[in-house]
């Protein structure tokens, strides 16, 4: 599998460190107390039951995707032309033709902005709705607040023994549970579903062991495990997290629904081709199968959008396939009657600088980090089609119309999922935490 790196050289191995850190450092969830708090939250009408988050790690360019600037000078508008969308007067970049032709099925938000221009900080802000508490460097792995996936996993149950929160092929650096604890960390499917030997850990009984032997070993482990568990809810017992993983593993192995959900090979060849036969395309197809099986939150981690150089060459190659995959996902969900209950999101941590640059270390032009402007695709879950929310200025430097924050975006996701963004949660130490400091959702996409 190809490992996509950002400008700080982040690899999958680094992300594994984050996953371990979030489990050990975040504390274990006081499940009963938090469930009680969630139950007292003000009632919300939920449009969505599931979320598919396409995380475009590195910061995708807004000008070469959903917010082109044809009237700007050449050093800003770039090499690409326009394509007319389904909505009169609204254009996307020339390599976004399929999504342009179905803008009546989704909305685009063009006016989210924030002040965190480093990968670590921007990732945290957009993944959690909470800005970092301290200055964060570009390559940092930080977790000051639970991610959207972990919160949804905590407050919305799944089905068929499947985990409530998946991330493929890795977890984003701020995609963990923080104080909610290890139970609400994502289940990572690292293998490539486009490969011929695609496997998912913990969903098959090991070779040479029968079902009866497997169940017998489970019973034996339970009878031998007589270790006293800590009862101090403030500190928790790390062994409890291990117990959760064992239980999750047994449930997955014994669940035919879980095994069926992972069987991408059961899809017709024409469907697989329509999604595009690459890692990203087949992960989006697997994401559809997972929400179809009842998983509330799936992140498709799509790295490699940090285009400080070779912006136009990389986007010319990548965008048509990306456009094909995402448009197919939306259409497929709609045809299966799942779009109204499945929220599809595509975004990264920020946009890119309007002015094209060439860094000293680069040989071809690119755009650098830019948090004052970004574009977000929002489909399904009751989202109206054809809405273009907000606007940036003529040169794409900053959001100037209907200016929105990451808090507004995350509050929209929670509200659509029937989760009150205005609720107070409590850490295992009893510290109160506001889920989102600004609980106002984006009105135009509700």
Confidence of residue 344 (pLDDT cuts 50, 70, 90): very high
| Cβ atoms of residues 25 and 319 within 8 Å | no
State the residue for tokens 């941590």: 349
d(CA 171, CA 253): 22
Looking only at the bridges linking them, the beta strands covering 432-434 and 424-426 are antiparallel
**Closest to 48 in 3D by CA, of 386, 422, 444, 338:** 338
- Least confident residue range of 110-114, 262-266, 274-278: 262-266
Mean pLDDT computed over 63-87: 97
Could you tell me what percentage of the chain is helix, strand and coil, using 3-state DSSP and rounding each to the nearest 5? 35, 15, 50
For residues 10 and 293, which has the higher predicted lDDT (pLDDT)? 293
Whole-number pLDDT of residue 16? 39
Residue 206 has pLDDT above 90, yes or no: no
- H helices of 143-268, where? 148-155, 211-224, 238-254, 256-262
For residues 259 and 195, which has the higher predicted lDDT (pLDDT)? 195
d(CA 352, CA 194): 30
| Cβ atoms of residues 52 and 329 within 8 Å | yes
Tally the C-alpha atoms within 13 A of residue 31's C-alpha that lie toward its C-beta. Answer: 9
Mean pLDDT computed over 286-306: 97
d(CA 83, CA 68): 10
For residues 72 and 4, which has the higher predicted lDDT (pLDDT)? 72
d(CA 431, CA 128): 18
Within 8 A by CB and 6+ apart from 76, the residues are 63, 69, 354, 355, 356, 395, 396
Q: What is the CB neighbour count within 10 angstroms for residue 44? A: 15
- Least confident residue range of 37-41, 140-144, 387-391: 37-41
d(CA 214, CA 206): 9
* Torsion angles phi and psi, residue 241, rounded to 5: -65, -40
d(CA 334, CA 30): 38
Each residue's pLDDT tens digit, 180-202: 999 999 999 999 999 888 888 65
| Cβ atoms of residues 294 and 160 within 8 Å | yes
Residues above pLDDT 70, as percent of the chain: 76
| Cβ atoms of residues 185 and 23 within 8 Å | yes
Whole-number pLDDT of residue 362? 73
Mean pLDDT computed over 90-94: 98
Each residue's pLDDT tens digit, 237-255: 444 554 565 566 556 656 7
Residue 390 has pLDDT above 60, yes or no: yes
Within 8 A by CB and 6+ apart from 414, the residues are 148, 151, 152, 420, 421, 435, 436
As beta bridge partners, residue 84 has 91
Each residue's pLDDT tens digit, 142-191: 789 999 999 999 998 777 778 999 999 999 989 999 999 999 999 999 99
Mean pLDDT computed over 76-96: 97
Whole-number pLDDT of residue 258? 78
Residue 336 has pLDDT above 50, yes or no: yes
d(CA 263, CA 324): 22
Whole-number pLDDT of residue 404? 98
| Cβ atoms of residues 82 and 93 within 8 Å | yes
Whole-number pLDDT of residue 118? 93
DSSP E strands in 281-335: the ranges are 297-302
For residues 17 and 81, which has the higher predicted lDDT (pLDDT)? 81
Whole-number pLDDT of residue 133? 75
State the residue for tokens 């499940």: 31
Confidence of residue 4 (pLDDT cuts 50, 70, 90): low
Instruction: Show the domains of the chain with their CATH numbers.
Output: 12-445 (3.40.720)
Residue 214 has pLDDT above 80, yes or no: no
156 conformational bin, left if phi > 0, alpha if psi -120 to 50, beta if neither: beta
* Torsion angles phi and psi, residue 88, rounded to 5: -55, 135
Tell me the whole-structure pTM to 2 decimals. 0.84
Each residue's pLDDT tens digit, 12-28: 444 433 333 333 333 33
Whole-number pLDDT of residue 395? 97
| Cβ atoms of residues 107 and 445 within 8 Å | yes
d(CA 280, CA 321): 9
The mean pLDDT value of the chain amounts to: 84
């Amino acid at each position: 599998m190809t490992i996509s790196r950002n400008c700080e050289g982040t690899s999958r191995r680094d992300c594994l460190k984050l996953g371990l850190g979030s489990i050990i450092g975040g504390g274990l969830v006081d499940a009963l107390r938090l469930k009680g708090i969630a139950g007292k939250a003000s009632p919300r009408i939920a449009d969505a039951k599931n979320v598919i988050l396409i995380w475009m790690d590195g910061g995708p360019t807004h000008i070469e995707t959903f917010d082109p600037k044809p009237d700007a000078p050449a050093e800003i508008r770039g090499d690409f032309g326009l394509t007319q969308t389904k909505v009169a007067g609204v254009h996307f970049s020339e390599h976004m033709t399929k999504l342009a032709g179905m803008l009546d099925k989704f909305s685009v938000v063009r006016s989210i902005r924030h002040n965190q221009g480093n990968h670590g900080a921007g990732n945290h802000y957009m993944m959690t709705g909470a800005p970092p508490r301290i200055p964060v460097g570009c390559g940092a792995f930080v977790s000051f607040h639970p991610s959207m996936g972990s919160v949804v996993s905590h407050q919305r149950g799944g089905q068929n023994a499947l985990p409530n929160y998946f991330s493929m092929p890795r977890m984003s650096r701020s995609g963990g549970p923080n104080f909610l604890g290890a139970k609400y960390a994502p289940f990572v499917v690292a293998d490539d579903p486009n490969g011929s030997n695609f496997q998912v850990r913990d969903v098959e009984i090991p070779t040479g062991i029968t079902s009866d032997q497997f169940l017998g070993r489970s019973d034996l482990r339970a009878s031998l495990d007589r270790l006293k568990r800590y009862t101090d809810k403030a500190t928790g017992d790390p062994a409890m997290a291990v117990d959760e993983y064992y239980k999750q593993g047994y449930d997955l192995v014994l669940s035919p629904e879980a095994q069926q959900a992972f069987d991408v090979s059961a899809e017709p060849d024409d469907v697989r081709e329509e999604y595009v036969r690459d890692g990203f395309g087949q992960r989006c197809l697997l994401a559809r199968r997972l929400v179809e099986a009842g998983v509330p939150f799936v992140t498709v981690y799509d790295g490699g959008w940090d285009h400080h150089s070779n912006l136009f060459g990389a986007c010319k190659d990548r965008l048509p396939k990306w456009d094909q995959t995402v448009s197919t996902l939306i259409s497929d969900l709609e045809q299966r009657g799942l779009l109204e209950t499945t929220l599809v999101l595509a975004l990264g941590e920020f946009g890119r600088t309007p002015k094209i640059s060439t860094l000293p270390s680069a040989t071809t032009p690119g755009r650098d980090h830019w948090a004052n402007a970004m574009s977000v695709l929002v489909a399904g879950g009751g989202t109206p089609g054809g809405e273009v929310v907000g606007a940036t200025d003529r040169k794409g430097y900053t959001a100037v119309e209907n200016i929105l924050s990451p808090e507004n975006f995350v509050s929209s996701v929670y509200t659509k999922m029937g989760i009150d963004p205005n609720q107070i949660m409590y850490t295992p130490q009893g510290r109160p935490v506001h889920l989102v400091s600004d609980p106002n959702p984006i009105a135009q996409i509700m």
